[in-house]
Amino acid sequence: MEICSVCGDHSTGKHYGANTCEGCKLFFKRSIKKRLYYTCRVAGCCPVNKRYRNSCQFCRMRKCLAVGMKREGK
């Protein structure tokens, strides 16, 4: 079984170029579609895992991009 490259939860397949869970897939899709810009209240080093993935949208988006998620993919 694959794990989500972003948060470590169970992956539902390859989405936007990376193995991700439904939560990270939809977060990325929403962020791209609405052209959202996030900021981090800390120094940009928040943990992004299954438990804390919703704590900091900036760090989650940065990790999405770091694991290879691309705007063009589906």
Helix, strand or coil for residue 65? helix
Whole-structure pTM value: 0.92
Q: What are 6-62's pLDDT values in tens digits?
A: 999 999 999 999 999 999 999 999 999 999 999 999 999 999 999 999 999 999 999
Q: Who has greater pLDDT, 32 or 73? A: 32
Hey, what long-range contacts does 47-56 have (CB within 8 A, 24 or more apart)?
48/6, 48/7, 49/7, 49/8, 50/4, 50/7, 50/8, 50/9, 53/6, 53/7, 53/9, 53/23, 53/24
**Domains of the chain: residue spans and CATH:** 13-67 (3.30.50.10)
**Residue 44 · residue 59 · CB < 8 Å:** yes
